[in-house]
Structure 1
Amino acid sequence: MKKTALPKMLSFSAPDLREQIEALPEGTALIGISTDGRAIAVDLDVEAPHVLVCTASGGGSTTMLRSLTAQFLHQGAHALVLDPKRIAHLWAKALPTVTHRGNIAGIHDALVGLGSELKRRLDLEGDLEDVPRLIVALDEANATLRQLARYWETVRQKDDPKTSPAITALEDALWAGRAARIHVIFDGRPHATVLGPETREQFATVILARFTADTWERLVPMAGPAPKQRHPQRGCFHVVQQDSTHETQAVRMTDADVVNWLTDPEDNES
């Protein structure tokens, strides 16, 4: 298809875009519009059930996590938002179906609770019709996992496992999430030494911005050589799905957009 210039901004406040998002089927969220004019979306029920977002600092990963999580919440999902900066996802504190955790002890306990919830759901043996999806949005994942490991060293007792149970629960959710309707949106670069050597395979959609050639090669080697990043346009990502790559302008949702939409969905003014 013929390439066109990406729009400079793709704002959720545009009525036609909001209508397009609200028409998506359950389990699908719009990432943005590609250079060939196609809508690029993530479908949690196709291929691996999780999403990987990896950018350099200031690359827009927090905005991406907010946009995708909000869309799934609008469809009836619940969410666990892990916000180690404590202020990156303040929108999440205003919503009844979202659990927001910021300090490392709270994140640890929330992930341990996630492990229990995963087991509960798996014990239902597929009878999940009345169980809402659970989105686990993990911001600054690499730094958070390192902090969790250090935190566990300070609190674990003699007979406790060496590996943090919070990290184990996250890894279990990545492997068994599909069967339990639990989906992780992971902001970072999953290291094999922390989450296991094959964790990358659990992400069917990989969203990158301001990446190095080394990062591209490690995360999406099946997509070929790293494309040239022609411009630092805000909100521009490369989305890799099933070996295909789409240069994409992402949907931008502000904190106010999300809160207004999810608390008063009949209000057409975001």
Structure 2
Amino acid sequence: MTTAPPTFRRVVGRYVSGRPLDGRTGYPYLTRGAGRWPGWKRQALRLGAPAATVLTVVEPHQSIGVASTAAAVAAWRGRKQLRRRRFDRAYVAPTLTAIRTPLGLETGVTLHVDPQLGNLTPRLAKPLSPAEQAVRLWYGQRIEPVLRYLPDRVQRLTWWMQEQAKPWTQKLEVFRRPGEQLGPRIELTVQTPYLTAEQRQLVSAIINSKVPVSDLVESWDQVGAQVTARWTVRKRPPAQVGYDRVLEHIDRLAEWEFYVGQGPGDRPVILSLRDDSPHIAVSAGSGAGKSVLAQLIAVQVLRRGGRVIILDRKGSHRWALGVDRVDYCTKPEQMHEALIRAAELANKRNDDALHEADDWDPGPRVLVICEELNATIGQLTNYWAEIREKSDPKRSPAVNALGEILFMGRSAKVNVLAIAQMLTARAIGGPEARENFGIRCLARYTVNAWKMLVPEAGMPRSSRTLGRWQIVVGGVATEVQVAYLNSRQAKALAKPAESPDSALSSDVTGNGNKMTLRQASDAGVIPWGYNAAKMRLHRTDKAAAPKPCGSDGKAFLYERADLERWASRTTSG
């Protein structure tokens, strides 16, 4: 069966519309497709060339202006095409060759690389000779100001009109459908339905080697008949995060969750001392903001009724002076006693937990901040060497206490935030103790510091932005701009949210007039111990028993007045 030749009408229609004259498909109007030009360019050439020829014959004087304009446009486009070809020869063509060979695909692989990415285009620039520099200087001083005068005025007028129309255009935004904002990117399309993990890893390595752009986000789409990979510029965290952002998140979180700042795409970053890790390791160079990060965690502990112990020889936490429920230890003897008391509290809570239900709440959270741990451990060791008797153990009890807290802090709600410029295993009491830090925060780090603390995570480039941290949890590093609080803001946030003026002891906490049964027993609101009070509560008639009014973790909260009324009735009866 033979195909009939196209009619004259069809050929004319294809010519005028910019489609291939032989009727081939795959040549769209707006994009290039399988052809060299998109359809609209072919249409403009087919219709414009005859019109220009006729104009030249009929109106010779007008044709001079048309020809000069066309020549200028052609020169501009030719210069642009030459730049693009040079760019493709340097980056796109070699990368395609490197990808096609191991995949075994001679065709069906396309690659798009935006020249705006990184410094790809400036890398291709060649040094100018003295003559070229002189010509460019003369052109920039004499010619370009004249050529740019009118376009600059038009652009300024356009900006002014857009500013004037903004009140109306903003109202029309509700009717605009959100589209995919691609921006500068590297995009690879492979005409195959699937690539294995090894092949994807190989392609990624080739892209990163042949196209020198750092800090890109990689995504793969293997749904459908082709595989598409895209590398886009990572949306960095904001340059500054302050008090307003902290206030926005701090009271929405659970008792064990802590807001630390904003991450990529301006998303909040939350750490969990229950799910992620009970202890936090902070390693950074001098002036990177280690004390700012520790302060942010501390004020959230205090705001929820907890207690903070600060071991700080150099006085980095002046905001904590005079703040309730803060033990500020600046002398070795103070640090020694504070660590031993914290370990005893953790041991007591762990012993009590053996006889309680799984959801038992041991009491208020205690946070131990160890500033400059390398020096602190040495001071504690020296102090113990001075005061110990011959019968005493050689190892400092305070150092032992710190190790005990690290191994049992989760269930006891006694957490350690260890700060050091170089958090070595010797500084923290051995590699086993250091493994208890599941949350590790690094800033202004060196290659040695990164490999020592988080070798399982790929090392990003260290940022010079003040307050910019890499927080690693489970081997995944997240770039975070840590929120900054001044002393006044920190003191304000350190007050409990519902009862700012209340001062609580290390073993008793409450939420305003609300407290758990254990807190009521420890505070003397009810005359029995916790276990006896719990048994009496189960035996009391439901009508006479105090009604829960909330929860603190998994423990019920009761109104203080209801507990006092229940205690008086039970005692008098």
Given the two structures, how large is their TM-score scaled by the length of structure 2?
A: 0.44
Which amino acid letter does the alignment assign opposite residue 227 of structure 1? P
2:296 pairs with 1:67: yes
Partner of 1:103: 331
2:250 aligns with one of 21, 35, 46: 21
Partners of 2:249 and 2:259 in 1: CA distance: 9
Report the alpha carbon displacement of residue 147 of structure 1 after superposing the two structures with TM: 1.1
Partners of 1:115 and 1:199 in 2: CA distance: 15
Report the alpha carbon displacement of residue 130 of structure 1 after superposing the two structures with TM: 5.4
Q: Does the CA-based 8 Å contact 1:48-1:204 persist in structure 2?
A: yes
**Residues 33-62 of structure 1: per-residue CA shift (max 9 Å, x gap):** 112332212100014310111111111101
- With over 3 angstroms needed to count, the CA separation of the structure-2 counterparts of 1:124 and 1:54, relative to structure 1, is same
2:371 pairs with 1:142: no
Alpha-carbon RMSD:
1.9
The sequence identity of aligned pairs, in percent, is 30
Which amino acid letter does the alignment assign opposite residue 242 of structure 1? G
Structure 2: runs of 5 or more not aligned: 1-216, 218-232, 500-573
SS in 2 for 1:113: helix
Partners of 1:135 and 1:64 in 2: CA distance: 13
* Higher mean displacement: 60-69 or 180-189: 180-189
> Within 5 A, what are the aligned runs for 1:143-222?
143-188=375-420, 189-194=422-427, 195-222=429-456
2:471 pairs with 1:239: yes
Report the alpha carbon displacement of residue 94 of structure 1 after superposing the two structures with TM: 2.1
SS in 1 for 2:266: coil
Partner of 2:340: 112
Partners of 2:321 and 2:449 in 1: CA distance: 33
Which amino acid letter does the alignment assign opposite residue 236 of structure 2? A
Partners of 1:146 and 1:205 in 2: CA distance: 24
Which amino acid letter does the alignment assign opposite residue 112 of structure 1? I
Partners of 2:383 and 2:343 in 1: CA distance: 18
Report the alpha carbon displacement of residue 200 of structure 1 after superposing the two structures with TM: 2.2
Q: Does the CA-based 8 Å contact 1:93-1:99 persist in structure 2?
A: no
**Residues 198-235 of structure 1: per-residue CA shift (max 9 Å, x gap):** 222211211110111000001011113x2112x41111
* Higher mean displacement: 66-75 or 207-216: 66-75
* Higher mean displacement: 129-138 or 205-214: 129-138
> Within 5 A, what are the aligned runs for 1:250-261?
250-261=482-493
SS in 1 for 2:321: helix
Which amino acid letter does the alignment assign opposite residue 468 of structure 2? C
Structure 1: runs of 5 or more not aligned: none
Report the alpha carbon displacement of residue 265 of structure 1 after superposing the two structures with TM: 4.6
The number of residues matched between the two structures is: 262
SS in 2 for 1:59: coil
Partners of 1:123 and 1:96 in 2: CA distance: 28
Q: Does the CA-based 8 Å contact 1:51-1:205 persist in structure 2?
A: yes
Report the alpha carbon displacement of residue 190 of structure 1 after superposing the two structures with TM: 3.8
* Higher mean displacement: 201-210 or 112-121: 112-121
Partners of 1:18 and 1:47 in 2: CA distance: 23
Q: Does the CA-based 8 Å contact 1:79-1:134 persist in structure 2?
A: yes
Partners of 2:468 and 2:274 in 1: CA distance: 25
Q: Does the CA-based 8 Å contact 2:302-2:495 persist in structure 1?
A: no
2:280 pairs with 1:51: yes
- With over 3 angstroms needed to count, the CA separation of the structure-2 counterparts of 1:41 and 1:264, relative to structure 1, is closer
2:268 aligns with one of 24, 39, 54: 39
Q: Does the CA-based 8 Å contact 1:94-1:259 persist in structure 2?
A: no
* Higher mean displacement: 238-247 or 118-127: 118-127
SS in 1 for 2:271: strand
SS in 2 for 1:206: strand
SS in 1 for 2:442: strand
Q: Does the CA-based 8 Å contact 1:209-1:237 persist in structure 2?
A: yes
Partner of 2:241: 10
Partners of 1:137 and 1:187 in 2: CA distance: 8
Report the alpha carbon displacement of residue 266 of structure 1 after superposing the two structures with TM: 7.5
Report the alpha carbon displacement of residue 93 of structure 1 after superposing the two structures with TM: 2.6
* Higher mean displacement: 161-170 or 45-54: 45-54
Which amino acid letter does the alignment assign opposite residue 9 of structure 1? Q
Q: Does the CA-based 8 Å contact 1:51-1:206 persist in structure 2?
A: yes
Partners of 2:441 and 2:350 in 1: CA distance: 29
2:457 pairs with 1:223: yes
Q: Does the CA-based 8 Å contact 2:366-2:414 persist in structure 1?
A: yes
Report the alpha carbon displacement of residue 264 of structure 1 after superposing the two structures with TM: 7.5
Q: Does the CA-based 8 Å contact 1:27-1:75 persist in structure 2?
A: no
Report the alpha carbon displacement of residue 90 of structure 1 after superposing the two structures with TM: 2.2
Report the alpha carbon displacement of residue 192 of structure 1 after superposing the two structures with TM: 2.5
Report the alpha carbon displacement of residue 64 of structure 1 after superposing the two structures with TM: 0.6
Partner of 2:349: 121
Report the alpha carbon displacement of residue 30 of structure 1 after superposing the two structures with TM: 1.0
Q: Does the CA-based 8 Å contact 1:190-1:199 persist in structure 2?
A: no
SS in 1 for 2:277: coil
Report the alpha carbon displacement of residue 32 of structure 1 after superposing the two structures with TM: 1.1
Report the alpha carbon displacement of residue 106 of structure 1 after superposing the two structures with TM: 0.8
SS in 2 for 1:29: strand
Partners of 1:61 and 1:159 in 2: CA distance: 39
